[in-house]
A = this chain, B = another copy of it.
Amino acid sequence: MTSDRHHENVPTDHTGLRVLTFDQCLRRLAECPVGRIAFVLDGEIAVLPVNHTVLGLNVYFRTLGDSKIEAAVNGDRVSFEVDAYNPRAKDGWSVLVHGTAEVVSDREDLRRLEPITREPWVPADSSRMTWIRVRSTAITGRALWGDEGRRSLSASGT
A43-B123 contact in complex given A67-B15, A85-B34, A87-B33, C-beta closer than 8 Å: no
Within 8 A of B (CB), among A4-56: 5, 14-17, 33-34, 36, 38-40, 43-49
Query: Closest CB of chain B to A40's CB: distance in Å?
Result: 7
Beta-carbon contact of B79 and A34 below 8 Å: no
A58 lies within 8 A of chain B by Cβ: no
Would you mind naming 18 contact pairs between A and B with Cβ atoms under 8 Å apart? A14-B64, A15-B124, A16-B122, A16-B124, A34-B83, A34-B87, A34-B92, A36-B81, A38-B38, A39-B45, A40-B45, A44-B98, A45-B77, A45-B79, A47-B94, A49-B92, A121-B146, A122-B144
On A, residues with C-beta under 8 Å from B are 2, 5, 14-17, 33-34, 36, 38-40, 43-49, 64, 66-67, 77-79, 81, 83, 85, 87, 90-92, 94, 96, 98, 119, 121-124, 138, 144, 146
